[in-house]
Copies of this chain bind each other. A is one copy, B any other.
């Protein structure tokens, strides 16, 4: 093994207002880094080779100048961007991880990362992995944060009952495509919205949504929902916010539940420009529950989720579509594309081969 390797890094150059552009990020020229931990690294650190990086909507709020506490600290201009990924352990001072182990969790947008203790707060060992018949990249999605997000949001927050109606926005995305399929498996009638004819087709064919519509082609979202849900919506899995939420509120049924997972339509708007939500009287009139949640609060459910979902992946009951960009140099563009709906399915970036 070489004593050093070339390490490229993607940093955030400055805080972003509005839509992120490629010039907000920068791929720094490679530097040589040691291929083992050094005395500079805190005791208990782990050195990993990053293989896949995940592009997730929650990363956008972290790119804004921090004005108030959020659930996740803002990125630091000049520092490497961090996010979910899949990696291979190169050197470990944590007894629970050994060189060669595959892990998923929070890592850096760079070829090699030193993950500082408490390492298990950031990284989970992959027990199934590439040789379990499941692509390793799935640990950025269906077997990672988005998968547990979909499971917790749908099953724990919304408590679905067979026969109920479910609406999912951003339904072809990493989380949405799973919620749709979980809903179908739960015996619900599920409808999704997406932003292109291609995605709508994917919802109806590949993911088994009972119906779907292209929100960009609907002059009246409330009317589109009324058409798809003549009896109203029992469960809304909220990924977009803004005008869609306002339209959904008018179409909810009594005692409906809304899992508030993401508000991607709002992330690139400045504070004073956020879309107005005006139909909140429906929350009383229909006795609705809206509940926000984030995956890290529910980590303890991961083993239960993994055990439940793996057989469905292996036997093809649940389909999963990824949009894979190649190379660290294309990571910024891939992340930016999320906010324009350019991805079809889960957006991730492959920065090294599985066996590298």
Contact = CB atoms under 8 A, between A and B. Distances in A.
A71 B256 CA distance: 13
Contacts of A279: 274
Given A274-B278, A289-B291, A291-B289, A250 B284 contact: no
Contacts of A76: none
Contact of A287 (B266, B288, B293): B293
Interface string A271-299: 11011111111111111111111100100
A70 interface: yes
Interface of A: 61, 68-71, 241, 245, 250, 254, 260-263, 266, 271-272, 274-294, 297
Contacts of A285: 61, 69-71, 292
A291 B288 contact: yes
A245 B280 CA distance: 10
B293 A284 contact: yes
Contact of A281 (B254, B263, B272, B280): B263
Contacts of A69: 285
Given A290-B290, A291-B289, A260 B284 contact: yes
A280 B263 contact: yes
Q: Which of A260, A262, A279, A281 has the most CB of B within 10 A?
A: A281
A285 to B, nearest CB: 5
A141 to B, nearest CB: 20
Contacts of A280: 241, 245, 260, 263, 266, 277
Given A274-B278, A277-B280, A289 B286 contact: no
Contacts of A245: 280
A328 to B, nearest CB: 29
13 contacts: A61-B285, A71-B285, A245-B280, A263-B281, A263-B284, A276-B276, A277-B280, A285-B292, A286-B292, A287-B293, A288-B290, A289-B289, A290-B291
A292 B291 CA distance: 12
Contacts of A254: 71
A276 to B, nearest CB: 3
A293 B285 CA distance: 8
Given A263-B281, A274-B279, A277-B280, A286 B250 contact: no
